[in-house]
Structure 1
Amino acid sequence: MGFSKRQHLQWNIDALRIAFKLEKENGKASVSERLLMMQYSGFGGLKFVLNPAQNPIDINHWRKNEHELFPLTQELHQLLKESATDEKQYRRYVDSMRSSVLTAFYTPPLVIDAIAITLKENAVSIQKLLEPSAGIGSFIQSFADKDVP
C-alpha cells in the first residue's frame, strides 16, 4: 500500500484534536486515544497544508490532483485556530507545521520492521535507541516486537 495523503492528514487531524482536548482538560489519554494518536505522522509529504485554504476560492491556487484534500486542509486550519489562544499562537502552529513539512519523513512499518529484523539476524546489539518517529513509538515498538538483542 502506498502513502495516502488523505489518510495521513486525517490521522494527523484526529491526533491533534485529541492532544488539544487532553491539554485543555488536563486529562490523560485513554487506550483508544493513544492508539489514534500513534497514527500521527507529521506533515512531511503533506506540503499542500501550507496552501491558502481560508476561502472556497483559494482552491483555485491548488494543484488539480490535490483538490480533494482542500476540505481536510480547511478542517486542519480550523482546528488549529480554535485550539490557539490567539492569532500569534495559531501562527506558531502553522510555522511548526511548515518546519514539519521540511523535516518530517514517513517511514512505513514494513521498512522499520525490515531494519529491526536485519539487525537481529546479524546479531547487532542495540543498547539505546533514539525514536525518530515524532516520539510515537513506531521504531521502539517494532524493535521490541522483533526482540532485537
Structure 2
Amino acid sequence: EPLQATLFDYLKDREEVELNEKEESPLDDLAVKAGDTVYFHHEEYKVREISKNEITGRNDLWLDPVRQGNHQIPIVAFTDNEDLLKHISLKRPNFIVGDEVKYKDKDYTITRFDDMGNNLKTVTVKDNTEYLGGMITGSDVIPYRLEGDLERIFENLTYQNPEKTTEEIEIKKAEAHNFKIKEETLPDKLSPSERLNNNLEAISMLNRIERGERDLDITAQEVLARYVGWGGLADVFDEEKGGQWKEARSFLKENLSQAEYEAARESTLTSFYTPKTVIDGVYKTLSDMGFKQGNILEPSMGIGNFIGNIPDEMNKSKFYGVELDSVSGRIGKLLYPESD
C-alpha cells in the first residue's frame, strides 16, 4: 500500500530544498553584503539588499543613498563578484559628490560627475561664495580623463586619503596572483587615441598602486594589461602637436621621471609588443617539441604578455622576465607577482 505524504512531510521537504538553495547561493560569496558601504558613480551608498533577478537571470544590488540631497536609488545589475567590482568600489574614491575642494584658490563643492564618452569625463563644482544675498552662485564644469587628473585639479578639503605603510602595500601585492589574458584586443585594431588613453590609464593606475592609494586586484590588473608602449605614438612627444597629444604630453611629464619620459620618447620606433597570434605559435612549437613545464626566460618581456598567455598545461613553469624599460617592468611585476 503506497505511503500517503502528510502536510508535515511536505513542509519538511520544502524546508530542506530552500535550505539547500540558500547554501548553494553564489550571493553568499560576494565581496559585499546588506548594510555595507559602497561607492557608485562617485556617490556613497549603503547596500539595501542583493537579490536574484528571475527575469534577467542576473543579480541585482539595491543601493540607498547616504548623502542628503541624493534621491537616486540605483539598482546595479551584475553576473558575479568580478563583474560587480567593475561597477562599484569598496574604497572611497579620492573625490565624491559633496566634497568641498579648493580650485583656483577658491572653495567649491562638487555637485556631480558625468561621463561624456570617448574617455572624456566632467566634474561640476559650485562656488561656495554667494552673491547678492545668496541669489547667485557660480559653478564650473571641468573636463578630465583620468581619476588621477582630479588630484592635480583640486585640493580636497573634506577627505584625505590615508597613507598606507610600505608593509601594507607589499602585503596587498603578495595577495595578488598572475594575470591571465582571456582575450586580446590587438593594438593594430585600436586607433592611436585608444592606445594613448589605455597607456595613460595604465600609468595612472601604476602610480596609484605604488603610492598605496589603490589595491592591486583583478580590476586594476585589467587596466594595467592594456598598456601597449609607445610604438607608433610619436605624436605624443611632438611639441607642436596640440589637443589630446598636448594633454597627454603634460600628463607624462608630470607622472614620469625625466629618464622615463626620454625613454618613452625614444621608444616610438621600437616599442611594439608581441601579438597573441605569435605568442600562441611559440607555445605550440614548444608543445610539439614535448615541453610541458620548466624554467622559461623572457629576456625582453615588456609587460609580460608571454606569461599572461601561457597555456594551462604549462602553467606550472617558472617564469623569469627581464625588462629594461622602467614603466613596462613595473607594470609586469604587478601583473605577474608570482613570477620573478
Q: Which TM-score band applies after superposition, normalised by the shorter structure?
A: 0.5 to 0.7
SS at match of 2:229: coil
In structure 2, the gaps of 5 or more residues are 1-185, 318-340
| Residue 210 (structure 2) aligned to one of 23, 38, 47 | 23
Question: What residue in structure 2 maps to residue 83 of structure 1?
Answer: 255
Q: 2:199 aligned with 1:9, yes or no?
A: no
Q: Quote the offset at 1:33 in angstroms.
A: 0.8
SS at match of 2:314: coil
- The one-letter amino acid of 2:295's match is Q
- The one-letter amino acid of 2:211's match is K
Question: What residue in structure 1 maps to residue 330 of structure 2?
Answer: none
Q: Quote the offset at 1:12 in angstroms.
A: 0.8
CA offsets 1:56-113 (integer angstroms, 9 cap, x no match): xx34xxxxxxxxxx533223222223335xxxx3x33320212332432222112211
Higher relative contact order (CA 8 A, sep 6+): 1
| Residue 71 (structure 1) aligned to one of 243, 249, 257 | 243
- Provide the C-alpha distance between the structure 2 equivalents of 1:21 and 1:98, rounded to a whole number of angstroms: 23
Check whether the contact 2:199–2:227 (CA below 8 A) recurs between aligned residues: yes
Change (3 A) 1:94 1:146: same
Q: 2:237 aligned with 1:43, yes or no?
A: no
- Provide the C-alpha distance between the structure 2 equivalents of 1:79 and 1:127, rounded to a whole number of angstroms: 39
Q: Quote the offset at 1:124 in angstroms.
A: 4.4
Question: What residue in structure 1 maps to residue 310 of structure 2?
Answer: 143
SS at match of 1:35: helix
Check whether the contact 1:113–1:142 (CA below 8 A) recurs between aligned residues: yes
Change (3 A) 1:25 1:104: same
After TM superposition, the structure 1 = structure 2 runs for residues 110-129 of structure 1, keeping only pairs within 5 Å, are: 110-124=277-291, 127-129=295-297
Greater Rg by CA: 2
Structure 1 runs, 4 residues or longer, greater than 6 Å off: none
**Identity percentage over the alignment?**
26
Change (3 A) 1:115 1:7: farther
Q: Quote the offset at 1:8 in angstroms.
A: 2.0
- Provide the C-alpha distance between the structure 1 equivalents of 2:197 and 2:209, rounded to a whole number of angstroms: 18
Structure richer in strand, relative to its length: 2
Q: Quote the offset at 1:120 in angstroms.
A: 1.0
Question: What residue in structure 2 maps to residue 130 of structure 1?
Answer: 298
Q: Quote the offset at 1:22 in angstroms.
A: 2.2
SS at match of 1:112: helix
CA offsets 1:26-61 (integer angstroms, 9 cap, x no match): 653222011110111211222222211xxxxx34xx
Q: 2:264 aligned with 1:101, yes or no?
A: no
SS at match of 1:128: strand
TM-score, normalisation: structure 1: 0.68
Q: Quote the offset at 1:138 in angstroms.
A: 0.9
Q: Matched residue pairs, number?
A: 128
SS at match of 1:97: helix
Change (3 A) 1:132 1:8: farther
Q: Quote the offset at 1:131 in angstroms.
A: 5.9
Question: What residue in structure 2 maps to residue 65 of structure 1?
Answer: none
- Provide the C-alpha distance between the structure 2 equivalents of 1:37 and 1:131, rounded to a whole number of angstroms: 20
